[in-house]
């Protein structure tokens, strides 16, 4: 049976769209209090994985997989059930959006009218991102400048002192009164929220990591003293809008989540904010957020997310350990295909054909499926040269770039590396082959074979990192083959030719029958066993050569070191008689 949430998402996500949804950049800001001053401080951000501001606020952490508490997801679900949800709001600025949200809360009886100005004041405080200085530092700098001015001019007239005290009192009165009656127009005039991106935003190099067509979702969480129950709002704008200094980078905002609650539960609010931020960068939930028609669609997206959540029991892992992103992120298309209108038969948890047979399964029309995507598991296509055809089809669009990109300046280091790797290998094993085969195959033959095989390999767009010349197993094989030929009176070169033709025929048969899928059944034990055999052969040859050296250069066991100083060598003139006879 299909769950109600999955059935609802099936009709939301089953419709074909003209273009995929933009990538979402999510930023979470938390409300910071410093005496009477308040501001929003950036605490975390997401593109695909989470990055936190490290303790001390000086640098970002490495991207890592978000670890959420199950309780925070249930609290988030409750917030969306009881809070305000505005979908396709026509907003052009943050003050106007906040006014619409507050008005909706008052209409629904979720907020007292007398709290309108206070909520508006809090939500329109300026945002400080990672490049900005904190409040206490800026105030300290102001204090230093004021103190330096007072030390420079210690004598002040009574009239100037009275004017100074009056201006200070007026400033205090304005700050205390502004908390209750400040509206968005006044806050704009005080430059708390700027409509245009600041210089720091435009110079932020992090924008290079975000796709050009990306949109932002902003999460604002904090605690205030004047609220008795949480103020929750989820807003989706009709069109992505630039909200000035709200976002770290100049990216238009499409989604806005606000959570303000009574004091004393800041940690809980932060976890709820991390939960919605993680959901917004989830491929499935982000599509739900873009296509949701009402509140129930969003809740169905959370329910489906909860169905796929894996819970780690407490006490068996350290929550402080950050999980690094996987090298290969699972494809989101498999999750989305479950909710496709054309995949009705896969709604019982058999997404991506998992319910089929282990050998790749079969389709309804009896034909074998073709599952030869890049990075996917090798699967038998069931066609003659089917795997070769799919490889050519996938590689053909990139074939020209394999050649003209080789002339790029950044390719020089790779070209030199591959060249030196091939030539040193050919020289080393060429010399060893010459010793093993009585120079039937030497350095020159190894050079020629490497050049010919490498040229053909690259012309057919092969992987250049594969070793093309002789290797250890080939050296062992050639040595054993030469010894076998020599011992049985067989011409080694002719025998070697027929072995090469037989190997080529085997390769053609394997490619034609798409037998490469068999490699998924080969375990590491086979590879390690073969490597162990090669290692023992090399160790045996090394010991054999070392022992053979003693036959040519035997050790003098009668040598006595004490007699070294007693040996004498003299130059004696030849006997004249012997010299004469020798001349004759």
* 419 and 534 part of one domain: yes
* 123 and 230 part of one domain: yes
What pLDDT, on the 0 to 100 scale, is given for residue 218?
94
Residue 344 has pLDDT above 60, yes or no: no
Domain end point (choices 303, 327, 351): 327
Number of domains the chain is built from: 2
The pTM assigned to this predicted structure is 0.53
CB 422 within 8 A of CB 469: yes
Distances (CA, A) of 385 to 367, 375, 393, 512: 16, 20, 12, 4
What pLDDT, on the 0 to 100 scale, is given for residue 259?
94
Q: Determine the Cα–Cα distance for residues 210 and 25; give it in Å rounded to an integer.
A: 7
* 212 and 314 part of one domain: yes
* 323 and 458 part of one domain: no
> Please, which residues have CB within 8 angstroms of residue 539's CB and are 6 or more apart in sequence?
none
Token look-up 């909200």 returns 243
CB 387 within 8 A of CB 340: no
Token look-up 């009886």 returns 109
Q: Determine the Cα–Cα distance for residues 25 and 215; give it in Å rounded to an integer.
A: 6
Residue 545 has pLDDT above 50, yes or no: yes
Domain end point (choices 327, 356, 379): 327
* 296 and 430 part of one domain: no
Please check whether residue 76 lies inside any domain of the structure: yes
Question: Which tokens in the block code for residue 534?
Answer: 């090669």
- Between residues 123 and 183, which one has the greater pLDDT? 123
Domain end point (choices 304, 327, 350): 327
- Provide the pairing of β-strand 24-34 with 37-46: antiparallel
- Any idea what the Cα angle at residue 373 is, between residues 370 and 376, rounded to 5°? 105
Token look-up 């780690």 returns 312
* 127 and 261 part of one domain: yes
What are 73-115's pLDDT values in tens digits?
A: 999 999 999 999 999 999 888 999 999 999 999 999 999 999 9
CB 182 within 8 A of CB 99: no
Please check whether residue 422 lies inside any domain of the structure: yes
Q: Determine the Cα–Cα distance for residues 223 and 260; give it in Å rounded to an integer.
A: 5
The mean-pLDDT minimum among 89-93, 431-435, 554-558 falls in: 554-558
What pLDDT, on the 0 to 100 scale, is given for residue 468?
67
Percent of the chain past pLDDT 70, that is, above it, reads 75
Closest CA to 132 of 221, 29, 242, 275: 29
Mark 234-260 as b/e (b = at least 16 C-beta within 10 Å): bbbbeebbbbbbbbbbbbbbbbbbbbb
* 323 and 408 part of one domain: no
DSSP helix/strand/coil, 41: strand
What are 383-398's pLDDT values in tens digits?
A: 788 888 888 888 888 7
* 456 and 547 part of one domain: yes
Q: Radius of gyration (Cα) for the chain, nearest Å?
A: 39
Please check whether residue 379 lies inside any domain of the structure: no
Please check whether residue 515 lies inside any domain of the structure: yes
* 74 and 218 part of one domain: yes
* 111 and 239 part of one domain: yes
Max mean pLDDT range (148-162, 278-292, 428-442)? 278-292
Residue 253 has pLDDT above 70, yes or no: yes
> Please, which residues have CB within 8 angstroms of residue 165's CB and are 6 or more apart in sequence?
none
Residue 415 has pLDDT above 50, yes or no: yes
Please check whether residue 54 lies inside any domain of the structure: yes
Please check whether residue 117 lies inside any domain of the structure: yes
What pLDDT, on the 0 to 100 scale, is given for residue 279?
93
Mean pLDDT, range 476-505, rounded to an integer: 90
Question: Which tokens in the block code for residue 246?
Answer: 């709200």
Domain CATH for 85: 3.40.930.10
Helices (H), 362-410: 386-395, 401-404
Distances (CA, A) of 341 to 12, 237, 499, 577: 10, 27, 55, 119
Please name the helix (run of DSSP H) or strand (run of DSSP E) that holds residue 532, with its range, or none.
helix 524-552
Supply the range of the domain harboring residue 508. 403-552
Cα dihedral across residues 497, 498, 499, 505: positive or negative = positive
Mean pLDDT, range 371-379, rounded to an integer: 43
What are 50-62's pLDDT values in tens digits?
A: 999 887 767 888 8
Question: Which tokens in the block code for residue 341?
Answer: 């209108």
CB 260 within 8 A of CB 230: yes
Please check whether residue 94 lies inside any domain of the structure: yes
Q: Determine the Cα–Cα distance for residues 72 and 79; give it in Å rounded to an integer.
A: 10
Q: Determine the Cα–Cα distance for residues 252 and 217; give it in Å rounded to an integer.
A: 9
Please check whether residue 390 lies inside any domain of the structure: no
Helices (H), 182-250: 184-189, 199-203
* 430 and 323 part of one domain: no
* 426 and 298 part of one domain: no
Question: Which tokens in the block code for residue 275?
Answer: 């939960």
């Amino acid at each position: 049976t299909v769950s109600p949430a999955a059935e609802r998402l099936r009709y939301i996500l089953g419709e074909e769209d003209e273009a995929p949804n933009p990538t979402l950049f999510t930023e979470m800001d938390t409300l910071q209090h410093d005496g009477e001053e308040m501001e929003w401080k950036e605490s975390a951000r997401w593109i695909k994985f989470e990055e936190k501001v490290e303790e001390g606020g000086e640098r970002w952490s490495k991207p890592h997989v978000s670890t959420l508490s199950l309780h925070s997801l249930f609290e988030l679900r409750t917030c969306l059930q009881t809070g305000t949800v505005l979908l396709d709001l026509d907003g052009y600025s943050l003050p106007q959006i906040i006014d619409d949200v507050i008005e909706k809360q008052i209409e629904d009886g979720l907020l007292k009218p007398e709290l309108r100005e206070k909520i508006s004041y809090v939500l329109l405080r300026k945002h400080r991102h990672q490049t900005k200085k904190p409040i206490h530092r800026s105030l300290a700098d102001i204090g230093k400048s004021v103190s330096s001015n007072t030390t420079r001019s210690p004598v002040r007239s009574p009239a100037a002192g009275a004017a100074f005290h009056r201006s200070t009192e007026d400033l205090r009165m304005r700050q205390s009164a502004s908390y209750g009656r400040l509206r968005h127009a006044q806050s704009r005039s005080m430059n708390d929220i700027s409509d245009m991106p600041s210089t720091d935003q435009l110079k932020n190099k992090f924008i290079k990591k975000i796709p050009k067509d990306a949109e932002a979702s902003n999460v604002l969480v904090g605690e205030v003293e004047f609220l008795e129950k949480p103020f929750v709002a989820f807003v989706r704008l009709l069109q992505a809008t630039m909200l000035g200094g709200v976002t770290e980078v100049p990216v238009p905002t499409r989604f806005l989540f606000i959570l303000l609650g009574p004091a004393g539960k800041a940690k809980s609010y932060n976890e709820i904010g991390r939960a919605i931020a993680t959901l917004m960068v989830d491929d499935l939930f982000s599509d739900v957020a873009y296509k949701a028609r009402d509140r129930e669609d969003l809740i169905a997206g959370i329910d489906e997310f909860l169905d796929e959540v894996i819970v780690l029991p407490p006490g068996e892992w350290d929550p402080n350990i950050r999980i690094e992103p996987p090298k290969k992120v699972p494809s989101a298309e498999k999750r989305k295909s479950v909710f496709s209108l054309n995949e009705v038969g896969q709604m019982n948890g058999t997404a991506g054909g998992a319910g089929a047979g282990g050998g790749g399964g079969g389709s309804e029309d009896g034909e074998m499926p073709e599952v030869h995507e890049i990075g996917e598991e090798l699967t038998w296509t069931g066609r003659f040269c089917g795997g070769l055809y799919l490889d050519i089809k996938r590689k053909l669009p990139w074939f020209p770039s394999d050649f003209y990109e080789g002339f790029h300046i950044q390719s020089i280091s790779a070209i030199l590396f591959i060249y030196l790797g091939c030539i040193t290998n050919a020289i080393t094993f060429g010399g060893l082959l010459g010793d093993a085969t009585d120079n039937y195959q030497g350095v020159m033959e190894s050079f020629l074979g490497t050049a010919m095989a490498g040229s053909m390999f690259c012309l057919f767009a092969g992987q250049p990192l594969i070793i093309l010349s002789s290797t250890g197993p080939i050296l062992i094989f050639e040595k054993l083959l030469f010894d076998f030929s020599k011992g049985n009176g067989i011409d080694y070169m002719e025998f070697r030719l027929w072995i090469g033709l037989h190997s080529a025929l085997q390769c053609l048969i394997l490619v034609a029958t798409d037998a490469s899928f068999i490699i998924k059944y080969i375990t590491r034990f086979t590879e390690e066993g073969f490597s162990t055999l090669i290692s023992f052969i090399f160790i045996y040859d090394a010991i054999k050569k070392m022992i053979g050296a003693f036959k040519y250069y035997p050790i003098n066991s009668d040598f006595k070191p004490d007699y070294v100083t007693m040996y004498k060598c003299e130059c004696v003139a030849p006997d004249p008689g012997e010299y004469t006879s020798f001349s004759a």
